Structure 1
Amino acid sequence: MRDLDLTTLRLFVAVCETGNMARAGEQANIVGSAISKRLAQLENQLGTPLLIRKRHGVVPTVAGQTVLEHARAMLDGAARIERDMASHNAGAHGQVRVFASVSTMTEFMANDVAAFLKMPSHRTIQVDLEERLSPDVVAGVRDGMASIGVCWDAVDLGVLQSLPYCSDHLCVVVPESHPLTGRRSVRFGETLDYEHVSLPINSALQLMYQRAAARVGRTLVHRIVVSNFEVALHVIAADLAIGLIPKEVAARSTASRGLCMVPLDEPWAERRFVMCMRDEKALSPAAQKLVEHLAQTGRRRSVPA
C-alpha cells in the first residue's frame, strides 16, 4: 500500500464532518469534484468504500468511521509536529508531552510543573500537560502520544515502566447538616445509603467504587456525574449529593463552603500515583529532568512535616 496522503485525509475528515463535499470544498478552497476524485482514489487504495452517497450528502460507512478515527489521530500528530518545531525554532529546545489523571492535575501536577519551568536552567523547555482518565493516560504513553504519564498505580500499566510520584487520601465530603457529619470515620458501605456525585463512570476511581459496592452487595447511586473534583465540591455544597474526594483537594475549601470531611475507613482510601513511560533511559534530556524533578517533589511531599 502506498503511503496515505495527509491532504486527502484532511479532506476526508472535512467531508465526514460537514456531510457534504461542496461544503467541505468551500472550507478547503477546492472544488467538490476534485475532492470526490481524491476520495475515490483513497477508497481504491484502501480497497473498501468509505462513504455512502445519499440524496443530500454523504455519511461514512463502518470502514469509513474507522478511517475517520485514524485520520483524526494522524492529523493531530502532524499538527503536534508542526507546533513542536515552531516552538523549537522559537527557542524551546526541549518539548515534553505529559498526560496526567484528573486527580493529579487537580492536586499536584500543575504546581509541580510550574515550579519546574520557573527554574532558570529549564527556561528553554516546554511542557504540554493534558488531563486524561487514568486508562487513557496509559494508552497515550503506550501509543507514543505522550512521553510521560502520571496516573493511579491501580491501573494496569502493561509493559510500561513506572516510578513513584505521590499519594492522596480519599475522604467522604458532606454538607454540615448531613447525618454523617461529626463521625470519626465511615466505611464505604455506609455511604451507599446516600446518592453520590461521581466522576465519569469509565474513570479508574469510579470503576473501583462500583467493584467495592458489588463486594458488599450494594449499588452505587450516581445523582450527578461531573468532570472534576472542583465541580463535585460545588454539587456537594448545593446539598445535592455526597462525594468521595481526596482530602488534599477538599481541605482547601470545605470550611468556606460549609462542608465537612469524614475519614474513609477503607484500605484503598490511600491512593498512590506513579509516573509511567515506555523506557526511562530513552526519554529525552528534558523529559528526564522533569521526571527527576517530579520524583524529588513527590518524596519531599511524602515526608511528614
Structure 2
Amino acid sequence: MRDLDLTTLRLFIAVCELGNIARAGERASIVGSAISKRLAQLESQVGTALLVRKRHGVVPTPAGQTLLEHARAMLDSAARIESDMQAFAGGARGQVRILASVSAMTESLADDIAQFLQAPGHRNIQVDLEERVSPEIVRGVREGLAALGVCWDAAELGTLQSRPYRRDRLCLVVPAGHRLAARKSVRFTDTLDDEHVSLPVNSAVQVMLQRVAAAAGRTLRRRVIVTNFEASLRVVRAGLAISVVPREIAEPRVRADGLKLVTLDEPWAERRFIICYRDAGLLSPAAQLLVDHLAARAESHPSR
C-alpha cells in the first residue's frame, strides 16, 4: 500500500466526526466534491469501502472505524513531531528517560531535576524518571530503554560511560532501646545476630551486605523486605528489625520516630553515585544538558 496522505486522513476524520461531507468541506474550506474525490482515492488505496452513504450523511464501515482510530493516532504523532521540531528553534527540546536507584531518587535526584526543569531554557524538555535497582539500571541503559542511569558506582557498568554524581553514607538505624543504640559506631558484622529490614535482594545495597556477611562466614537474616527506605524506617520504628539506611534519608526522621543512628565503620559505607550512559557522543542535546546540570550540582554539594 502506498504511503497514506495526512491531508486526506485529516479530511476523512472530519467526515467521520461530522457525518457529512459538505460540513467537513466547510470546516476545511474545501468543496465537497474535492473531498469525495480524495475519499474515493483512499478507498481504492486501502482496497475496501470506508464509508456508507446514508440519506442524511455518511457513517464509517467497520474498516472505516479501524482506519479512523489509526488516522487519529497518526495525526497525533505528526502533530507532536511538528511541535518538537519547531521547539528546537526556541531552545533545547526533548524527552530524557532516567532509571535511578531508590537512594538517588529519595536523597537528591528529584530535587536536582526539578531545578533543571525550572530553568527558562529547559521549558520544552520532559524528564521521565523511573525507580529501578542497580542491575536493572545498567541493563536498561545498555539496551537503550533509557538515555541515563543514576546508581551506586559499585554497579558493574561494563562498556557504559559515566560521570560522578553525589555521595551519601550508609548507617545503621535501630530502635532507641536496642542493644546497639548506645554505640557511636559498629562494624557490619556486629549486626549479624539481629534480623534486618531489607530492600529487594538484587538491589546494590543488599548485594553488598550479603557479600560482607558471606565474607565473614555469616548469613544476613532478613525479617522484612520492603521496596524503599521510608518503609524500612517504619519497620524499625515498630521494633521488628534493624536496617542499613543512608544517613541523608534517616536523619530527618530519627528524632520524631524515636530511632537511633549508629555510624557504620566500613570503607564501603561512604557511597559515590554516578550518571551512566552508553556513549557521551550519542546523547541528545537535552540529555547532555541534564548530565551537565547533575554533574555541576554534585560538584557544588560535595558532601552529599
Structures share a fold, TM > 0.5? yes
Partner of 1:176: 176
Partner of 2:148: 148
Q: What letter corresponds to residue 286 of structure 1 in structure 2?
A: A
**1:301 paired to 2:295:** no
Aligned CA distance change for structure 1 residues 261 and 88 (closer, same or farther; 3 Å): farther
Partner of 1:118: 118
Shift of 1:93: 2.7
Q: What letter corresponds to residue 285 of structure 2 in structure 1?
A: P
Shift of 1:204: 1.6
Q: What letter corresponds to residue 228 of structure 2 in structure 1?
A: N
Contact 2:97/2:148 (8 A) holds in 1: yes
Q: What letter corresponds to residue 148 of structure 2 in structure 1?
A: I
- Counterpart mapping for 1:172-211 below 5 A: 172-211=172-211
User: TM-score of the superposition, structure 2-length normalised?
Assistant: 0.70
User: TM-score of the superposition, structure 1-length normalised?
Assistant: 0.70
Partner of 2:27: none
**1:284 paired to 2:278:** no
Structure 1: runs of 5+ lacking an equivalent: 1-78
Q: What letter corresponds to residue 294 of structure 2 in structure 1?
A: L
Measure, in 2, the Cα distance between the counterparts of 1:83 and 1:301.
41
Q: What letter corresponds to residue 154 of structure 1 in structure 2?
A: A
Q: What letter corresponds to residue 225 of structure 1 in structure 2?
A: I
Aligned CA distance change for structure 1 residues 211 and 138 (closer, same or farther; 3 Å): same
Aligned CA distance change for structure 1 residues 294 and 84 (closer, same or farther; 3 Å): farther
Contact 1:88/1:94 (8 A) holds in 2: no
Shift of 1:205: 1.3
**Residues matched between the structures, number:** 224
- Counterpart mapping for 1:199-238 below 5 A: 199-238=199-238
Measure, in 1, the Cα distance between the counterparts of 2:272 and 2:95.
27
Identity between Structure 1 and Structure 2 (%): 56
C-alpha RMSD of matched pairs (Å): 2.1
Shift of 1:165: 0.3
**1:135 paired to 2:135:** yes
Contact 1:192/1:218 (8 A) holds in 2: yes
Aligned CA distance change for structure 1 residues 288 and 256 (closer, same or farther; 3 Å): same
Partner of 1:108: 108
Shift of 1:119: 1.0
Q: What letter corresponds to residue 119 of structure 1 in structure 2?
A: A
Deviation digits for residues 39-65 of structure 1, max 9, x if unmatched? xxxxxxxxxxxxxxxxxxxxxxxxxxx
Measure, in 2, the Cα distance between the counterparts of 1:88 and 1:135.
37
Deviation digits for residues 44-99 of structure 1, max 9, x if unmatched? xxxxxxxxxxxxxxxxxxxxxxxxxxxxxxxxxxx9xx889849737693111111
Deviation digits for residues 4-58 of structure 1, max 9, x if unmatched? xxxxxxxxxxxxxxxxxxxxxxxxxxxxxxxxxxxxxxxxxxxxxxxxxxxxxxx
Aligned CA distance change for structure 1 residues 201 and 88 (closer, same or farther; 3 Å): farther
Equivalent position SS for 1:194? coil
Shift of 1:217: 1.2
Q: What letter corresponds to residue 212 of structure 1 in structure 2?
A: V
- Counterpart mapping for 1:159-170 below 5 A: 159-170=159-170
Partner of 2:49: none
Bigger Rg, which one = 2
Equivalent position SS for 1:89? helix
Partner of 1:18: none
**1:89 paired to 2:89:** no
Moved over 3 A (4+): 82-92
Measure, in 1, the Cα distance between the counterparts of 2:269 and 2:154.
12
Contact 1:84/1:95 (8 A) holds in 2: no
Structure 2: runs of 5+ lacking an equivalent: 1-72
Equivalent position SS for 1:157? coil
Measure, in 2, the Cα distance between the counterparts of 1:247 and 1:84.
48
Measure, in 2, the Cα distance between the counterparts of 1:216 and 1:286.
46
Measure, in 2, the Cα distance between the counterparts of 1:84 and 1:254.
52
Aligned CA distance change for structure 1 residues 153 and 303 (closer, same or farther; 3 Å): closer
